[in-house]
Structure 1
Amino acid sequence: MLKNIDPQLNPRLLYLLATMGHGDRVAIVDRNYPAYASGVEVNHLGSLDSTQALHVVLSVMPLDRFEETPMIFMQPADAGGPLPVHQAALSAAADAEGRPIACAWRERHAFYEEVRTATVVIATDESRPWGNILLMKGVL
């Protein structure tokens, strides 16, 4: 047992997050995302939604301060702006980091390509559409 580690962080996920370096990426994806098609190791946090998984990851991993947009969302095809799932993620990231976090948007297929560069894909039980996030690891 470890102190002050969220119990949702299973040993494999902790290992992957710990071995990532500055600028490496982690993807948090919803239940509709084709996670296994990415070719990246998939770690399931199936009982959590995207915002909860983001909170768990950011409890141990800093976001990149050198990148203008350390969070990337999949661009909703049918929405005019950020959806509640995106607003919740931005709020959770700001709370975890103690600063506002800027985000970027990628068209669906461009997002799929960027996820292929991630160290790990975290599959969640997120049911809200477009609940997919790509994060860049920072430094302490």
Structure 2
Amino acid sequence: MLKGIPSIISPELMKALMEMGHGDEIVLADGNFPAASHTERLIRCDGHGISELLKAILEFLPLDTYVEHPVAFMAVVLGDSVQPTIWKDYEEIIHQLNYSFPFEFMERSEFYHRTKMAFAVVATSETAQYANIILKKGVIK
């Protein structure tokens, strides 16, 4: 163990965060997401929700301030009655870090396609629907 690293950040996750470069993306996937079939670099974080992981990850991972949308959510499928409340949790976590930008909402198949190009996918036990989120890494200033 090391000082100052939240226990929710596994060695494998910390390694991936450190290996990522500017513009690389990481996907935090909910429990329903087909994570294993959409990546070659799968990081398991079973037993954890995305909000708690997001908060811990953003202690170390700067978001890309050179793009319009460094954060993307999977949009609700047309006709689905679900109204995701978890997005507000994400927005609060991100805004507490003094980031101010619009969030991108991606159609499901587009989100899946972008996930296949991401640096890594973190599979969680998040139960909220439409809880998937993509983070684009920025630079240390």
- Range of TM-score over shorter length: over 0.9
Q: Does 1:74 align with 2:74?
A: yes
Shift of 1:75: 0.5
Q: Name the aligned partner's letter for residue 108 of structure 2.
A: R
Match of 1:30 in 2: 30
Structure 1 residues 67 and 79: CA distance shift in structure 2, 3 A: farther
Residues 41 and 120 in structure 1, CA contact (< 8 A), matched pair in contact too: yes
Give the corresponding residue for 1:90. 91
Q: Which amino acid aligns with 1:75?
A: A
Alpha-carbon offset, residue 101 of structure 1 = 3.8
**DSSP 3-state at the match of 2:111:** helix
Output the CA distance in 1 between the equivalents of 2:112 and 2:53: 19
Aligned length: 138
Q: Which residues of structure 1 form unaligned runs of 5+?
A: none
Q: AA paired with 1:89?
A: Y
Question: Displacement, 1:134?
Answer: 0.5
* TM-score normalised by length of structure 2: 0.91
| CA offset digits 1:84-112 (Å, max 9, x no partner) | 111111111122x2232421011101000
Q: Deviations over 1:30-78 (max 9, x none)?
A: 0000001103311111121111111121111011111111100001112
Output the CA distance in 1 between the equivalents of 2:45 and 2:74.
19
Q: Kindly, what percent of the aligned residue pairs are identical?
A: 30
> Runs of at least 4 residues of structure 1 off by over 3 A?
none
Give the equivalent residue in structure 1 for 2:103: 103
1:12-37 Cα shifts (integer Å, max 9, x gaps): 11111001000100000100000011
Answer whether contact 2:29 2:121 (CA < 8 A) is retained.
yes
Give the gaps of 5 or more residues in structure 2.
Answer: none
RMSD: 1.5
